[in-house]
């Protein structure tokens, strides 16, 4: 029989979340050593940057059908705003938000206090200022000119050092853990924090040129989406879903198959960004094979989350946070299966350079990113802080988010297919350019809908926290494990 067991350690939750005795006193600033202090700054900074990313995205979207918009300000030129939007979305919103979730999960999964709340808080502020500095530099015209590595020196190296400090903090907590069993979320977090500083440095500091540079840059960039953002996002969903449905995960064994296949295949996906480019054939073949093999880890999550959701359908009606988790999961699985299809050579020949890529990207970032972090934030307020947020506002937030994502992704996918077919028939990209206008307008409107939805969300969170006098609920740290004779995680 499968049952949920709340892990009852002899140590109390209070002592688990309080300042570590093992940590050198030089790493502690008492005013910063509050339980969950670091995670709050990471999470709420992520939500702040989401708002900025969306506003910049909407300005860009408007410029694409009305180029005169803000034309006289060089800092707001399309070529500068686009990398600012991308970097704020990737490093501000998604990285900070999901690191907030990781700083929440790690002490609870290890049953040990965070190695250093002080370091966690300082790295969060360092990350915020570094990102601000990097984006202002891009707006002032300084850029390395390579996608996802635009942020110039010294801010790029600032991120590298901060990533090492974050990895050190989380890994030290892991080493000091009191819980010996490892839940799958912890595996995913370790997979994100340990190799990523290496990928990041390789992508940002390499001295290659020409096609070698492109191959190395895409190796880094794809791992930015796959090994950094996706793993942190999956860790979060794996953590909150069993608690939301009050049921153990369908199968820990399948979750580990998913984990190891993702860890094995994702790092080799980067070459699919240069299919049909002047790169050696083996680079293309290897990355296409790895992209198709990604079906295995995605299928593992389909079985696991599908199995967990079965029998818990009624929770969808009552818990908005769980509904967001499912939306995030659909965003992840949808973007991934779509991505595998984009890597097929014949299909890639048709859609490369079309808006179909933009549709795929935003299904990943809006679906998996916005929905996943909304799910976690509501979960945090309700389960950890025991606070009541406004349900009607959360319902509006959910449906406006769905509408915005569907509008954005559908408009870009449809025009992507239209232009791909037109180019295949011999029309030039310049000739089909005007076809984009109505779809660009639809994208800007969908962005506006998303912005209104997230505005309601932030207002709701703000209002809920402002009226609360309660601290973090210390019970929230208790683990929920699947304990079953068929599927014991310790086997
Ligand atoms: C209101 C919502 C948003 C709007 C209106 C919007 C709009 C845009 C626009 C106009 C582009 C440029 C497309 C092109 O050059 O053809 C773009 C690219 C991009 N956006 Fe967004 N965006 C939004 C939200 C986000 C968020 C939240 C993220 C989070 C990470 C994000 C990540 C990206 C990325 C990575 C690209 C580059 C895609 C590529 O090069 O293929 N966007 N977005
Ligand atoms: C199995 C998983 C995935 C595969 C195989 C995959 C595959 C691909 C392929 C083939 C492209 C290039 C399309 C073109 O030729 O223009 C692409 C672009 C992209 N994908 Fe994915 N994708 C996957 C999942 C994701 C997820 C989950 C995200 C976001 C969280 C994401 C973010 C991106 C971004 C940002 C780009 C645009 C890069 C650029 O050109 O600037 N992908 N993906």
Residues in the chain: 491
For the cut 80, the answer to whether the pLDDT of residue 442 exceeds it is yes
Taking the CA of residue 447 as reference, the ligand 1 atom at the shortest distance is 1
Residue 480 pairs in a beta bridge with 6
Coil, helix or strand at residue 401: helix
Q: Is residue 250 within 8 Å of 308, Cβ to Cβ?
A: yes
**362-395 pLDDT, tens per residue?**
999 999 999 999 999 999 999 888 999 999 999 9
For ligand 2, the distance from its centroid to the CA atom of residue 36, given in whole angstroms, is 33
The Cα–Cα gap between 64 and 66 comes to: 6
**457-471 pLDDT, tens per residue?**
999 999 999 987 655
Coil, helix or strand at residue 107: helix
Ligand 2 in reach of 361 Cβ (< 6 A): yes
SS (H, E, C) 205-270: HCCCCHHHHHHHHHHHHHHHHHHHHHHHHHHHHHHHHHHHHCCCCCCHHHHHHHHHHHHHHHHHCH
Residue 6 pairs in a beta bridge with 480
The Cα–Cα gap between 74 and 139 comes to: 8
Coil, helix or strand at residue 457: helix
- pTM of the predicted model over 0.85: yes
- Mean pLDDT of all residues in 10-35: 59
Q: Closest residue (by CA) to atom 34 of ligand 1?
A: 86
pLDDT at position 311, please? Answer: 79
Candidate from 235, 335, 362, 413 with most ligand 2 atoms within 8 A of CB, to mutate: 335
- Mean pLDDT of all residues in 268-291: 96
**222-265 pLDDT, tens per residue?**
999 999 999 999 999 999 999 999 989 999 999 999 999 999 99
- Mean pLDDT of all residues in 72-91: 97
The Cα–Cα gap between 84 and 57 comes to: 9
Q: Positive or negative CA dihedral for 353, 354, 356, 361?
A: positive
Residues with CB under 6 A from ligand 1: 50, 53-54, 57-58, 60-61, 64, 82, 85-86, 89-90, 93-94, 357-358, 361-362, 365-366, 369, 443, 447, 450-451
Q: What are the CA-CA distances from residue 329 to residues 15, 67, 142, 323, 325 (Å)?
A: 34, 36, 37, 10, 6
- Mean pLDDT of all residues in 273-287: 96
Ligand 2 in reach of 342 Cβ (< 6 A): yes
The Cα–Cα gap between 202 and 285 comes to: 23
Ligand 2 in reach of 230 Cβ (< 6 A): yes
Cis preceding-peptide flag for 154 (omega within 30 of 0):
yes
Q: Positive or negative CA dihedral for 27, 31, 37, 40?
A: negative
For ligand 1, the distance from its centroid to the CA atom of residue 377, given in whole angstroms, is 23
Query: What are φ and ψ of residue 3, in 5° steps?
Result: -145, 160
Q: Which ligand is nearest to the CA of 289?
A: 2
pLDDT at position 206, please? Answer: 86
pLDDT at position 23, please? Answer: 58
| Confidence label for 58 from pLDDT (cuts 50, 70 and 90) | very high
Candidate from 225, 263, 405 with most ligand 2 atoms within 8 A of CB, to mutate: 225
Coil, helix or strand at residue 344: coil
């Amino acid at each position: 029989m499968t049952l949920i067991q709340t892990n009852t350690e002899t140590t109390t939750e209070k002592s688990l979340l309080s300042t570590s005795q093992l940590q050198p006193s030089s790493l502690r600033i008492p005013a910063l050593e509050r339980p969950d202090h670091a995670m709050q700054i990471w999470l709420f900074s992520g939500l702040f940057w989401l708002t900025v990313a969306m506003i910049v995205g909407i300005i860009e979207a408007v410029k694409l059908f009305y180029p005169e918009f803000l034309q006289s300000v060089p800092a707001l030129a399309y070529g500068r705003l686009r990398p600012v939007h991308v970097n704020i979305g990737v490093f501000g919103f998604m990285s900070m938000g999901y690191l907030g979730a990781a700083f929440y999960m790690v002490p609870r999964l290890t049953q040990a206090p965070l190695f250093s709340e002080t370091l966690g808080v300082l790295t969060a502020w360092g990350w915020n200022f570094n990102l601000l500095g990097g984006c202002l530099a891009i707006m002032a015209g300084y850029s390395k000119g390579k996608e996802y590595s635009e942020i110039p020196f010294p801010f790029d190296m600032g991120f590298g050092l901060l990533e090492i400090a974050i990895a050190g903090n989380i890994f030290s907590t892991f080493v000091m853990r009191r819980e010996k069993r490892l839940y799958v979320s912890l595996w995913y977090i370790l997979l994100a924090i340990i190799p990523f500083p290496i990928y990041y440095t390789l992508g940002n500091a390499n001295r290659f040129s020409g096609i070698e540079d492109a191959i190395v840059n895409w190796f880094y960039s794809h791992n930015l989406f796959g090994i950094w953002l996706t793993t942190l996002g999956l860790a979060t969903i794996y953590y909150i879903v069993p608690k939301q449905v009050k049921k153990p995960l369908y199968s820990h064994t399948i979750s580990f198959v998913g984990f190891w296949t993702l860890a094995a295949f994702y790092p080799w996906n980067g070459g699919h960004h240069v299919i049909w480019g002047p790169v050696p054939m083996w680079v293309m073949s290897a990355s296409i094979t790895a992209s198709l093999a990604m079906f295995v880890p995605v299928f593992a999550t389909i079985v696991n989350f599908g199995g967990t959701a079965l029998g818990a359908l009624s929770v969808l009606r009552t818990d908005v946070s769980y509904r967001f988790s499912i939306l995030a999961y659909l965003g992840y699985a949808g973007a991934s299966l779509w991505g595998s299809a984009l890597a097929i050579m014949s299909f890639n020949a048709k859609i490369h350079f079309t808006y179909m890529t933009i549709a795929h990207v935003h299904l990943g970032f809006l679906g998996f990113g916005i929905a996943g972090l909304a799910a976690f934030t509501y979960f945090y307020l309700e389960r950890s802080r025991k606070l009541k947020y406004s349900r009607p506002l959360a319902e509006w937030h959910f449906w406006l988010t769905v509408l915005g994502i569907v509008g954005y992704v559908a408009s870009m996918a449809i025009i992507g297919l239209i232009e791909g077919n037109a180019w295949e028939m011999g029309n030039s990209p310049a000739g089909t350019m005007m076809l984009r206008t109505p779809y660009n307008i639809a994208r800007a409107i969908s962005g506006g809908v998303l912005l209104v939805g997230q505005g309601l969300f932030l207002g709701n969170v703000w209002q809920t926290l402002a009226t609360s006098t309660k601290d973090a609920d210390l019970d929230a740290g208790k683990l929920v494990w699947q304990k079953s004779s068929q599927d014991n995680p310790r086997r």
